[in-house]
Amino acid sequence: MGKSVLIVGGGIVGLSCAYYLHKEGHEVTVIDKSGMDGGASYVNAGYLTPSHIIPLASPGMMAKGIKWMFNSSSPFYMKPRLDDNFLRWAWAFNRSSTRAHVEKAIPLIREINVLSKDLYIQMHGSGELGDFHLEKKGLLMLYKTRKEGQHEKEVARRASDEGLEVTELTRNELDRLQPGLSPEIEGAVHYLCDAHTSPNEIMDRLKMYLRVQGVVILQDEEVIGFTRKNRRITGTLTSRATYTTDEVVLAGGAWTSGLLQNLGIKLLLQAGKGYRINVPRPLGIHLPAILMEAKVAVTPMRDFTRFAGTMEFSGINHRIRSERVEAIARAAQAYYTDLEIRADEKQAAKCGLRPVSPDGLPYIGKTSHLENLTIATGHAMMGWSLGPATGKLVSEVISDLPLSMPLDGFHPERRF
């Protein structure tokens, strides 16, 4: 028998939860405090990335954060601030940035990414959302320096050991695949296992499909609290009404930890701001790529090319730092010959807040505190890639079905 389920959060994770819960016969309502037309699910690079097997929390990352702390245009920026939640998160992030953690995380990240990519492909093949943009051209990792090249080749070898399709390219091989690259680029690693999409297109079609299927989607309505009795949530209070449902899913992205505080649950989570610039002109860029030294993502999407990047920890805000936008534009122009990003295109840049856990792995599953609460957040830079897998797993948890993969490594109450 189906349950009534309220999903808090209308990004790719929340909508994916709605998609799979509806398929299992549940009565689903999605609620979001925004107009559901912006944020991390709309400004990301659109990658489906089995290749991204290394978590953000890895050796050397905290040192980079400290080194770049006073450079607000750096790729990885932590704004100095005396905030208890941030300091506890930073301490846990540092403790997680070990080789042992990376080795433990790699198979988990690989498995959930492969599962999610397969689900995107199934969704595309079903025709339920129409013929949305999904291309399986892989992902180029472009490097200018021997240091970055050697590092990525080591990752590529590990990815190959994990069964992922990857190849190393010489400069001549690279030029045949993607003309117009800077002569400073030495070569690339090509992750053939990856794919790319146009996020806005999928988000709009997913919302339309869900509404047609009878899923209730409530926009511009903020959750302000909960009522509870014993070990169950009995009501979800919003700025407009109170909802009583059998199950509650918190998929509120960077805002999830704040929502959990209303329930007396502490979840270490920080907002990692990312930026994007869209260029709606033909640029001759055919393959998605990451510009290694600059940590900038380049994606040829439907009718435009997107340049995205940075991880900025400065709290929950949507302030656009012009120096960060300029850094993305400069990097792109340094890797592609004859590329110029115009002032109006930079002026139209947007940002989104990714929810980042201390160990770089998502939080998926129930807690010991409340038996009808499921958490789905903390995906860091892989939120878009992992949306469908998270939705599928959440639907299996709530429906008491066999899990597509074990969730122990993603448990919301794991220790750091």
Report pLDDT for 70.
67
DSSP string across 371-398: TTEEEEE-BGGGHHHHHHHHHHHHHHHH
Confidence class of residue 61 from pLDDT cuts 50, 70 and 90?
confident
Half-sphere exposure (Cβ direction) of 327: Cα atoms closer than 13 Å: 24
Task: Give domain status of residue 147, yes or no.
Answer: yes
Task: Give domain status of residue 171, yes or no.
Answer: yes
Report pLDDT for 74.
77
Q: Check the CA dihedral 233-356-272-297 and report its sign.
A: negative
Average pLDDT value for residue range 283-307: 97
**For 240, which DSSP code?**
S
Least confident of 81-85, 227-231, 235-239, 325-329: 81-85
- Cα–Cα distance for residue pair 303/282, rounded to 1 Å: 8
What six digits make up the tokens of 264?
A: 């007396």
Task: Give domain status of residue 416, yes or no.
Answer: no
Look at 69 and 249; give whichever has higher pLDDT.
Answer: 249
Number of compact structural domains in the chain: 1
Report pLDDT for 401.
98
Confidence class of residue 75 from pLDDT cuts 50, 70 and 90?
confident
Tokens 């989570």 sit on residue: 269
Average pLDDT value for residue range 326-335: 96
Is residue 290 over pLDDT 70? yes
Range of the domain at 20: 4-410
pTM of the model: 0.96
- Cα–Cα distance for residue pair 183/329, rounded to 1 Å: 18
Q: Is residue 352 within 8 Å of 42, Cβ to Cβ?
A: yes
Q: Check the CA dihedral 5-8-10-16 and report its sign.
A: negative
Residue 363: beta bridge partners? 377
- Kindly report, residue by residue over 101-159, the tens digit of the pLDDT: 999 999 999 999 999 999 999 999 999 999 999 999 999 999 999 999 999 999 999 99
Radius of gyration over every alpha carbon of the chain, rounded to an integer in angstroms? 21
Average pLDDT value for residue range 59-72: 73
CATH number at residue 110: 3.50.50.60
Task: Give domain status of residue 218, yes or no.
Answer: yes
Task: Give domain status of residue 242, yes or no.
Answer: yes
Residue 189: beta bridge partners? 141, 168
What six digits make up the tokens of 243?
A: 């909802």
- Cα–Cα distance for residue pair 269/354, rounded to 1 Å: 10
Taken as a whole, the chain contains a residue count of 416
- Kindly report, residue by residue over 342-384, the tens digit of the pLDDT: 999 999 999 999 999 999 999 999 999 999 999 999 999 999 9
Task: Give domain status of residue 415, yes or no.
Answer: no
- Cα–Cα distance for residue pair 145/191, rounded to 1 Å: 19
Across the chain, mean pLDDT equals 95
